[in-house]
Amino acid sequence: MKKFFLLIMLFVISVCSFSENFFGTFDAKLHQIKGDITVDNITGTITIHDFTYDGKGSDVYIIISKDKNFKDKKNISKKLKRAYVNEDVYLSIKNLDKLMDKGYNTVSVYTQKFKYSFADAKLMME
């Protein structure tokens, strides 16, 4: 029984030690966007803390891209259809770890209609 618990503890420690967390802060250009981003690429979750956006953009999504190269962008949210004021936004992204391994390292608030980013956050490892 002790060996079983020891194996379980080793497994938990090994899983926790390989978890990679990334952080970023929006650098806003338009629409009063602000927020701090936490990414856990192992669980595939992105959290935007205290997200603010005036809701006045057209055809706006939260995306992830490679160094603001929007040619290979991936939408990670539904269309933003309303204003947000200091709200926490939780996004669950399938295969986030693989995307980040391929160089996806920037989260942006992006208008598809005008192909322009209202705000960007470069993700840095903790």
Q: Report the mean per-residue pLDDT for the chain.
A: 86
CA-angle at 105, arms to 86 and 29, nearest 5°: 50
Q: Can you tell me the distance from the alpha carbon of 45 to that of 13, in angstroms, rounded to the nearest whole number?
A: 20
- Residue-wise pLDDT for 47-57, tens only, equals 999 999 999 99
**Is 42 in contact with 19 (CB distance < 8 Å)?**
yes
Q: Can you give the C-alpha Rg of the chain in angstroms?
A: 17
Block residue for tokens 């650098």? 27
Q: Can you tell me the distance from the alpha carbon of 96 to that of 10, in angstroms, rounded to the nearest whole number?
A: 25
Q: Can you tell me the distance from the alpha carbon of 39 to that of 105, in angstroms, rounded to the nearest whole number?
A: 10
- Residue-wise pLDDT for 2-26, tens only, equals 555 545 554 544 444 455 788 999 8
- Residue-wise pLDDT for 27-82, tens only, equals 888 889 999 999 988 889 999 999 999 999 999 999 999 988 889 899 999 999 99
